[in-house]
């Protein structure tokens, strides 16, 4: 225990693997684990309520506050019991739809004969009155899963009451954070689950938490009250504030939950706090504030043509738009821009707009695009005004990255054209403001080049519009995402050096972008001006050998895409520089695969690139083979190599890049390396 207490950091992360394992084991024996955990939690919640009641009584009577022994141990017990219970009832999932674990559903279903839905609902509703763990209510007819969740709700209710009674200073921020973490995990899996994704629910869980259920609606209202209480008192606690806002986000991130959430006045009170930017909400950390705005936008935009939508627009988004206009459209803005209050307001607004961009989805995309497009255009001016102020300039670039990523696959061609024009304007402004700014002598930390990283992400997101566009075709003449991306590459490539690529995040993003461009627009890459083209080829060469296997893989894929384009489209009248590139990379990859220590995990991309290069210049490949054979002093080895090369590239080998030829060459290369790599590889 002492070792655990000495560790610094979030217990959820530090002990993630252990907690997941405990949760899995608990589900295996759900009939034992659920009652046990519920009893332990009820006992601790009851003790906490008793102590808070004693403190409240003393405060009301004006008596001295009595010493309360063991509060620290009590909070520690609650914290770990909540962590275990949270991992038992639901899995933490990222990037996939959260589901109720099948073992939990089966356990609830097994208890259906002794479960009464009405009694379960009454028990759950009673959690808001407090003292649930100590009540004399008959709990034998209560669904055991709901009983555990209700116990946590009772703990949350005790915290809400303590905040309302000005006794929050007796509470533990850590426990409060673990409570909302538990409730968020529960919400994402249990409240109004999508029947298309979920396993078949037990009758009690479906009746209590299913779509349009009374219990589900009550729970959303209760959780919104908890969010409001926490943000009222705990906004200055970064970790707890983030957990609370993520709980709010989970209440509105599906349409079914959001449509219920907007019916509660509590949600609109949260919106008013954001609109006024007064009180504790103004203390939220930037990232938390961004999620807060995202949640409010998702909630309001779920209502279609409902009157609440107009209320949401006027109260929340319009107030944000008005604030932006007041600050940025004042006649003397350029002179006032560097004053701290103005700068702080601009930063706050940009963070809010990033939150709006994060909230874009299929049902609100048109309205939010109309709202954000003028802001995107005006943000170009902000970049110009604040180009010497990195903390603001970076926010502008991040806003563009978030917006393009959110919008690009849903827009009509007319909308996409407007967005791309704004991006071109941003790129032009960035070029003017940063000409000559980057140099290796000023390279101290990777963060100094964060703007380049963001520009690469922006270009990558724009490329996606040509690959996966779900927006309507309105017949408008198209501005090519590829042309905009290549224009951006013209800005970025002169700044990319071998030294700069030593920074991992920049390196990975650059090679992802270059691979994407080479695969989708090889004809545009081979038409780059000489300086930019050779710069890009140099980075691909470096990527083959200096960095890790992921970078080597992307470099090989880029080379394969370019050489395949050359083979199919340019062989008849090849430009001199492409002939040189083919020879250069053929020699490099010949040596890399055959003569150097080669990572066999790269066999597939290396095979594709090597095969395309051989097909493009079989004569030079033959020269390389003859040169290698000539340098072999041992006739036996030389003869063995000759036979292996005949099997790798037989004389009747078809110069084709069709699927069958590629697969055959890959098998040949695998066999070749297995037979001769041992004595070819240079030690």
* Residues 258 and 276 reside in one and the same domain: yes
Give yes or no for residue 444 having a pLDDT over 50: no
What pLDDT is recorded for position 165? 86
Q: For residues 313-321, give the mean pLDDT.
A: 78
Q: Is residue 500 part of a domain?
A: no
What's the burial of 329, exposed, middle or buried (CB within 10 Å: 0-12/13-18/19+)?
A: exposed
The 10s digit of each residue's pLDDT in 111-152 is 988 888 999 999 998 877 655 544 556 788 899 999 999 999
Angle at 322 between CA 316 and CA 323, to 5 degrees: 90
Higher pLDDT, 81 or 448: 81
Higher pLDDT, 194 or 234: 234
| Direct distance between the N- and C-terminal alpha carbons of the chain, in angstroms, rounded to an integer | 51
Report the percentage of the chain scoring pLDDT > 90.
40
Q: Would you say 31 and 139 are in contact if contact means Cβ atoms under 8 Å apart?
A: no
What pLDDT is recorded for position 639? 86
How many residues in total does the chain contain?
A: 683
**Which of these, 524, 598, 604, lies nearest to 557 by C-alpha position?**
604
Angle between helices 618-630 and 576-590 (to 10 degrees): 40
Q: b/e for 487-509, b at 16 or more Cβ within 10 A? A: bbbebbbebbbeebbebeebbbb
Give yes or no for residue 18 having a pLDDT over 90: yes
* Residues 216 and 203 reside in one and the same domain: no
Give yes or no for residue 441 having a pLDDT over 50: no
Q: If you ran DSSP here, which 8-state letter would residue 64 be given?
A: P
Give yes or no for residue 76 having a pLDDT over 80: yes
* Residues 292 and 316 reside in one and the same domain: no
The 10s digit of each residue's pLDDT in 499-529 is 777 788 888 998 999 998 899 889 988 888 8
Give yes or no for residue 438 having a pLDDT over 60: no
Q: Is residue 408 part of a domain?
A: yes
**Which of these, 661, 651, 468, lies nearest to 564 by C-alpha position?**
661
Compute the CA torsion angle 235, 239, 245, 247 (nearest 10 deg): -130
* Residues 261 and 394 reside in one and the same domain: no
Q: Would you say 402 and 450 are in contact if contact means Cβ atoms under 8 Å apart?
A: no
Give yes or no for residue 6 having a pLDDT over 60: no
Task: Indicate the range of 27-31, 92-96, 330-334, 420-424 predicted with least confidence.
Answer: 92-96
What pLDDT is recorded for position 227? 94
Q: For residues 340-352, give the mean pLDDT.
A: 92
* Residues 417 and 349 reside in one and the same domain: yes
Q: Tell me what the pLDDT averaged over the chain comes to.
A: 85
Q: Is residue 564 part of a domain?
A: yes
| Segments forming the whole domain that contains residue 281 | 212-303
* Residues 282 and 422 reside in one and the same domain: no
Query: Cα 295 from chain centroid?
Result: 16
* Residues 119 and 18 reside in one and the same domain: yes
Band (1; pLDDT cuts 50, 70, 90):
very low
What pLDDT is recorded for position 683? 38
Q: How many domains does the chain have?
A: 4
DSSP helix/strand/coil, 329: coil
Q: For residues 266-284, give the mean pLDDT.
A: 79
Q: Is residue 501 part of a domain?
A: no
Q: Is residue 322 part of a domain?
A: yes
Among 178-187, 504-513, 660-669, the range of highest mean pLDDT: 178-187
* Residues 135 and 13 reside in one and the same domain: yes
Give yes or no for residue 371 having a pLDDT over 60: yes
Q: Which phi-psi region, left, alpha or beta, contains residue 131 (left: φ > 0; alpha: ψ -120 to 50)?
A: left
Q: For residues 394-407, give the mean pLDDT.
A: 95
What's the burial of 593, exposed, middle or buried (CB within 10 Å: 0-12/13-18/19+)?
A: buried
What pLDDT is recorded for position 107? 93
* Residues 348 and 463 reside in one and the same domain: yes
Q: Which residue, 207, 236, 270, sits at the end of a domain?
A: 207
* Residues 229 and 273 reside in one and the same domain: yes
Higher pLDDT, 51 or 479: 51
What pLDDT is recorded for position 606? 92
Q: For residues 231-245, give the mean pLDDT.
A: 90
Q: Is residue 521 part of a domain?
A: no
The 10s digit of each residue's pLDDT in 243-257 is 999 999 999 988 889
Give yes or no for residue 678 having a pLDDT over 80: no
* Residues 336 and 231 reside in one and the same domain: no
CA separation for the pair 93, 77 (Å, rounded): 25
| HEC sequence for 586-655 | HHHHHHHHHHCCCCHHHHHHHHHHHHHHHHHCHHHHHHHHHHHHHCCCCHHHHHHHHHHHHHHCCCCCCC
- pTM of structure: 0.84
* Residues 16 and 137 reside in one and the same domain: yes
Band (476; pLDDT cuts 50, 70, 90):
low
Q: Is residue 245 part of a domain?
A: yes
CA separation for the pair 635, 188 (Å, rounded): 69
Q: Which residue, 148, 181, 207, sits at the end of a domain?
A: 207
What pLDDT is recorded for position 69? 73
CA separation for the pair 658, 166 (Å, rounded): 74
Higher pLDDT, 431 or 633: 431
Q: Which phi-psi region, left, alpha or beta, contains residue 264 (left: φ > 0; alpha: ψ -120 to 50)?
A: beta
Q: For residues 86-105, give the mean pLDDT.
A: 86
Q: Is residue 516 part of a domain?
A: no
Phi, psi (rounded to 5 degrees) for 496: -85, 120
């Amino acid at each position: 225990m002492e070792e655990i207490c000495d560790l610094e950091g979030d217990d959820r992360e530090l002990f993630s693997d252990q907690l997941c394992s405990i949760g899995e084991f608990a589900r295996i024996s759900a009939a034992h684990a659920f009652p046990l955990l519920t009893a332990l939690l009820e006992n601790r919640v009851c003790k906490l309520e008793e102590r808070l009641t004693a403190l409240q009584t003393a405060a009301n009577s004006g008596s001295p506050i009595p010493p309360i022994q063991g509060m620290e141990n009590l909070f520690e017990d609650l914290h770990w019991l909540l962590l275990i219970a949270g991992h038992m009832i639901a899995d933490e999932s990222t990037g996939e739809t959260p589901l109720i674990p099948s073992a939990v559903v089966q356990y609830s279903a097994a208890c259906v004969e002794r479960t009464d839905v009405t009694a379960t609902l009454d028990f759950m509703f009673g959690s808001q009155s407090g003292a649930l763990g100590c009540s004399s209510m008959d709990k034998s007819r209560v669904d055991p899963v709901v009983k555990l969740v209700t116990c946590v709700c009772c703990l949350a209710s005790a915290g809400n009451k303590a905040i309302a009674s000005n006794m929050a200073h007796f509470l533990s921020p850590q426990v409060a954070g673990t409570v909302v973490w538990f409730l968020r995990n529960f919400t994402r899996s249990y409240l109004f689950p999508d029947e298309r994704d979920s396993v078949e629910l037990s009758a009690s869980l479906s009746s209590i938490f299913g779509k349009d259920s009374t219990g589900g609606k009550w729970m959303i209202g209760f959780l919104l009250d908890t969010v409001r209480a926490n943000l009222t008192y705990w906004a200055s606690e970064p970790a707890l504030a983030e957990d609370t806002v993520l709980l709010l986000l989970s209440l509105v991130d599906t349409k079914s939950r959001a449509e219920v959430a907007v019916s509660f006045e509590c949600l609109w009170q949260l919106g008013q706090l954001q609109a006024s930017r007064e009180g504790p909400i103004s203390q939220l950390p930037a990232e938390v504030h961004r999620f807060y705005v995202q949640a409010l936008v998702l909630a309001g935009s779920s209502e279609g043509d409902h009157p609440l939508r107009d209320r949401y627009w006027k109260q929340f988004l319009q107030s944000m738009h008005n604030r932006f206009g007041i600050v940025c459209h004042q006649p003397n803005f350029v002179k006032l821009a560097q004053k701290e209050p103005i700068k702080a307001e601009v930063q706050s607004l940009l963070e809010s707009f990033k939150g709006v961009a994060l909230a874009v989805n299929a049902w609100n995309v048109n309205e939010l695009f109309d709202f954000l497009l003028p802001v995107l255009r005006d943000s170009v001016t902000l970049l110009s005004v604040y180009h010497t102020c990195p903390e603001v300039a970076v926010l502008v670039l991040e806003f563009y990255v978030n917006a393009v990523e959110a919008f690009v696959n849903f827009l009509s061609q007319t909308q996409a054209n407007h967005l791309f024009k704004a991006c071109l304007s941003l790129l032009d402004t960035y070029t003017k403001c940063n000409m000559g700014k980057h140099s290796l002598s000023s390279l101290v930390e990777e963060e100094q080049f964060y703007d380049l990283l963001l520009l690469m992400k922006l270009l990558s997101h724009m490329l996606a519009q040509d690959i996966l566009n779900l927006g309507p075709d309105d017949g408008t003449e198209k501005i090519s995402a590829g042309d905009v991306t290549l224009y951006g590459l013209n800005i970025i490539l002169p700044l990319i050096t071998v030294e700069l690529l030593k920074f991992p995040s920049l390196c990975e993003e650059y090679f992802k972008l270059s691979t994407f461009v080479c695969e989708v627009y090889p004809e545009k890459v081979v038409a780059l001006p000489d300086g930019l083209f050779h710069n890009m080829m140099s980075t691909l060469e470096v990527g083959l050998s200096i960095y890790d296997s992921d970078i080597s893989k992307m470099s090989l894929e880029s080379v394969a895409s370019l050489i395949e384009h050359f083979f199919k489209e340019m062989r008849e009248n090849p430009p001199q520089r492409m002939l040189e590139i083919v020879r250069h990379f053929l020699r490099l990859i010949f040596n890399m695969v055959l003569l150097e220590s080669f990572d066999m995990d790269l066999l597939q991309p290396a095979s594709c690139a090597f095969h395309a290069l051989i097909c493009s210049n079989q004569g030079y490949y033959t020269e390389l083979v003859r040169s290698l054979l000539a340098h072999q002093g041992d006739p036996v080895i030389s003869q063995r190599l000759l036979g292996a090369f005949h099997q790798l590239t037989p004389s009747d080998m078809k110069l084709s890049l069709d699927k069958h030829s590629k697969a055959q060459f890959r098998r040949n290369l695998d066999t070749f390396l297995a037979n001769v790599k041992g004595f070819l590889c240079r030690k």
